[in-house]
Amino acid sequence: MTARTLRWSSCLNVRDLGGLPLVSGGRTRFGAIVRADGLFRLSPTGLEQVRAYGIRTVIDLRYPDELARRPNPYSPLSDGGVTLVHASMMDMDNAAIVSLDRQHLPWLDWNVEMLRLARPQILTILRTLAYASPGGSIYHCHAGKDRTGLLSILIESLVGVEDHAIADDYVASNENLKHVYAEILAQYPAGSAERTRLETDMPCRAETVHATLAHLRAGHGGVEAYLLEIGLEPHAIVALRARLAAQE
């Protein structure tokens, strides 16, 4: 496997975390961890593509009412060999997170607040990835760019991916979602306040990644120190790194 972008019918924004350059040399391993937009979009063909790719653990980051509106296709499957874990990135019983979700903050500020407010959720998700059954794992939200994007920053930095490559992966969502962006913008008149806000807020930007990593390094001593601080065990960190171990 050498292609990072995966064309699973009818998903829009799926990428393998393999093939990313490491500071120490080599690249991350293909087939271990995949990021995606909502798997509720998968067609029957797409479901077969996921199975054939070796995915055995699915982590749905959406909050419960999103899940209720668009159920995960793996929910009713008991014999498909896939384990579904619902691990919402956002605790919608937490008033501060609900408020955060409604403020339309710049994405750097959103990332910083999520790192502060969603510690239990981040811990659960990373533990799930670290201790997942053999085979590939995938995590996804709705569009696969914001919640999924922040989680990807943490994982990729933890295993030693070069900063510029983490940023490149983050902004790759823009190309995959450009038609979605256009459809959303078309709902608002040109020059309107809401359209102007969306034109600024929707795209993923490299500077968001670099500033998020700078925040983690300055405020916590780096990604590994932050994860230890929120309770992730050292052996879980070792397990996560082993899953994405370098390949030449």
d(CA 150, CA 142): 13
Q: Taking the model in full, what pTM does it have?
A: 0.96
CATH number of 154's domain: 3.90.190.10
Phi and psi torsions of 73, nearest 5°: -65, -15
User: Residue 9 falls within a domain, yes or no?
Assistant: no
User: Residue 8 falls within a domain, yes or no?
Assistant: no
Range of the domain at 146: 15-243
User: Residue 21 falls within a domain, yes or no?
Assistant: yes
- pLDDT tens per residue across all 248 residues of the chain: 568 999 999 999 999 999 999 999 999 999 999 999 999 999 999 999 999 999 999 999 999 999 999 999 998 765 568 999 999 998 888 888 888 878 889 999 999 999 999 999 999 999 999 999 999 999 999 999 999 999 999 999 999 999 999 999 999 999 999 999 999 999 999 999 999 999 999 999 999 999 999 999 999 999 999 999 999 999 999 999 999 987 65
d(CA 70, CA 129): 23
Instruction: Please list the residues that pair with 161 across neighbouring strands.
Output: 22
User: Residue 5 falls within a domain, yes or no?
Assistant: no
Identify whether the C-beta of residue 223 lies closer than 8 Å to the C-beta of residue 23.
no
User: Residue 7 falls within a domain, yes or no?
Assistant: no
User: Residue 132 falls within a domain, yes or no?
Assistant: yes
User: Residue 1 falls within a domain, yes or no?
Assistant: no
Identify whether the C-beta of residue 35 lies closer than 8 Å to the C-beta of residue 4.
no
Instruction: Please list the residues that pair with 85 across neighbouring strands.
Output: 59
User: Residue 86 falls within a domain, yes or no?
Assistant: yes
**Site of tokens 């995966």:** 6
* Backbone φ/ψ region at 135: left (φ over 0), alpha (ψ -120 to 50), beta: left
Six-digit token pair at 40?
């509720």
Number of domains in the chain: 1
d(CA 163, CA 219): 17
